[in-house]
Amino acid sequence: MSIYVDIKKSMGAFSLSAEFEAGNEIMGLLGSSGCGKSMTLKCIAGIMTPDEGRIVLNGRVLFDSDKNINLMPQERKTGYLFQNYALFPHMTVAENIAVGIHGSKEAKKELVREKISSFYLSGLESRYPAQISGGQQQRVALARIFASEPDIIMLDEPFSALDSHLKWQIELETVKALEKYTGTILFVSHNRDEVYRLCKRIAVIEHGHMESIHDKSEMFASPNTLAASKLTGCKNHSKAKKIGEHELYAIDWDCSLKSEAVVPDDLKYVGIRAHYLVMNVGENIENQLKCRVERVIDDTFSMMVLVTSNNSPNVKEEIVWQIDKELWQEICRNGLPEELSLIMPADKLLLLR
Partner 1 sequence: MDLAPLFISIKTALLATVITFFLGLYAAFWVIKLERWQGLIDGLFTLPLVLPPTVVGFFLLIVLGKNSFIGKFLNQFDVSIVFSWEATVIASTVVAFPLMYRTARGAFEQIDYNLISAARTLGMSERKIFWRIILPLSWSGVAAGTILAFARALGEFGATIMLAGNIPGKTQTMATAIYSTVQAGKRDDAYLWSGIIIVISFVVMILMNYWSKAQKKAKTTSNER
CA distance 11 to 26: 26
CA distance 36 to 205: 7
CA distance 95 to 125: 8
Question: Cβ 95 to partner 1, closest distance in Å?
Answer: 9
Question: Cβ 159 to partner 1, closest distance in Å?
Answer: 16
CA distance 156 to 142: 12
CA distance 77 to 149: 7
- 102 counts as binding partner 1 under rule CB under 8 A: yes
Question: Cβ 98 to partner 1, closest distance in Å?
Answer: 10
Rg, the chain, Cα only: 25
One of 17, 40, 80, 189 touching partner 1 (CB under 8 A) = 80
Enumerate the H helices of the chain as residue ranges: 37-45, 73-76, 93-98, 105-118, 134-147, 164-178, 192-198, 216-221, 226-231, 325-331
Nearer to partner 1, 89 or 123 (CB): 89
Instruction: Note whether 229 and 223 are within 8 A (CB).
Output: yes
Question: Cβ 167 to partner 1, closest distance in Å?
Answer: 20
One of 19, 58, 100, 201 touching partner 1 (CB under 8 A) = 100
Instruction: Note whether 223 and 51 are within 8 A (CB).
Output: no
Part of the chain binding partner 1 (CB under 8 A), chosen from 16-24, 81-89, 208-216, 270-278: 81-89
Question: Cβ 100 to partner 1, closest distance in Å?
Answer: 4
One of 33, 68, 74, 300 touching partner 1 (CB under 8 A) = 74
User: Edge-to-edge strands of the sheet including 3-11?
Assistant: 69-70, 60-64, 52-57, 3-11, 14-22, 209-215, 201-206, 26-30, 184-189, 152-156, 78-81
One of 2, 58, 148, 212 touching partner 1 (CB under 8 A) = 148
- Among positions 38-57, residues that touch partner 1 (CB under 8 A) are 42, 45-47
CA distance 252 to 270: 10
- 108 counts as binding partner 1 under rule CB under 8 A: no
- 59 counts as binding partner 1 under rule CB under 8 A: no
Nearer to partner 1, 98 or 240 (CB): 98
Question: Cβ 80 to partner 1, closest distance in Å?
Answer: 5
User: Edge-to-edge strands of the sheet including 255-258?
Assistant: 255-258, 247-250, 236-244, 269-272, 350-352
In our burial notation (b when 16+ CB lie closer than 10 A, e otherwise), range 35-47 reads bbbbbbbbbbbbe
Part of the chain binding partner 1 (CB under 8 A), chosen from 21-29, 70-78, 232-240, 307-315: 70-78
One of 10, 24, 32, 84 touching partner 1 (CB under 8 A) = 84
Burial class (CB in 10 A: 0-12, 13-18, 19+), 259: buried
Per-residue binding letters, 120-139, with partner 1 (x by CB under 8 A):
--------x-xxxx------
- 166 counts as binding partner 1 under rule CB under 8 A: no
Question: Cβ 125 to partner 1, closest distance in Å?
Answer: 16
- 145 counts as binding partner 1 under rule CB under 8 A: yes
- 181 counts as binding partner 1 under rule CB under 8 A: no
Question: Footprint of partner 1 on this chain (CB under 8 A)?
Answer: 42, 45-47, 72-74, 76-80, 82, 84, 86, 88-90, 99-100, 102, 128, 130-133, 144-145, 148, 150
